[in-house]
Structure 1
Amino acid sequence: MTLTEQVITIAACAIGTMLTRYLPFLVFSSRKPTPDYIQYLGRALPCAIFAMLVVYCLKDVTITAGSHGLPEAIAIAVTILLHKALHQMLLSIAGGTICYMLLSQYLFTH
């Protein structure tokens, strides 16, 4: 990439990021109430996105071969238990990820 292409790419990324951050504040005024469908999306989308991520992460797990999905199942259980105990999403995700990595690297090696 030339220097000009790099500058254009960085500028496009910065503008795109700023646009997605500032656009809701420009579209939805603080003087008018937020529309009901936007409030619904704010409640429903986070759960839907996490469900989609779980499905995506488990799409290649085969329970009939290898470790039979045990590291994944254990890591999911650890994530759920951490979230129920701590109510901290980032800690739950990090704990489940670390658990999975340790299990897959050291205990369930192929």
Structure 2
Amino acid sequence: MTLNEQLLTIATAIVAVQLCRWVAFWAFPVHKRVPDFVQYLGKALPSAVFGLLVVYCYKNVDIFGQHHGMAEFIAGAVVVGLHLWRKNMFISIGVGTILYMILVQRVFV
């Protein structure tokens, strides 16, 4: 890519991110009530995303491979334990991801 193409790509990404952030405030101003459907999505989507991450995590696990998916199962157990203990999805996913990366890159090499 040329320098101009790189700058154009970065500028496009910046504009797209900012538009995504601003659209929520334009669509749902403070003085108006948020529609029931949007409130439902706010309650339902976090669990759906969590489920999607679980499926994505275990989709390529080879239990007959060298490490039998131990890194995935250990990190998954830590995520479940943390989530039951702290009830904070960000902590659960963050710590589980960091633990998984450590296990894959340092322990199960």
TM-score when scaled to structure 1? 0.80
Q: Does the CA contact (< 8 Å) of 2:80 and 2:92 recur in 1? A: yes
Number of the residue aligned with 1:90: 90
State the distance in 1 between where 2:45 and 2:55 align.
15
Equivalences, count: 109
**Partner secondary structure for residue 41 of structure 1:** helix
Number of the residue aligned with 2:42: 42
TM-superposed deviation, 1:83: 2.6
What amino acid is aligned across from residue 72 of structure 1 in structure 2? Answer: E
Alignment of 1:1-110 (within 5 A): 1-105=1-105, 107-109=107-109
Question: Over residues 73-99 of structure 1, what are the superposed CA-to-partner deviations in whole Å (9 max), with x where a residue is unaligned?
Answer: 222111221233334433333332343
Structure 1 unpaired stretches of 5+: none
State the distance in 2 between where 1:95 and 1:34 align.
33
State the distance in 1 between where 2:88 and 2:102 align.
21
TM-score when scaled to structure 2? 0.80
Over the matched positions of the two proteins, sequence identity in percent amounts to: 48
What amino acid is aligned across from residue 94 of structure 1 in structure 2? Answer: G
TM-superposed deviation, 1:53: 1.5
Structure 2 unpaired stretches of 5+: none
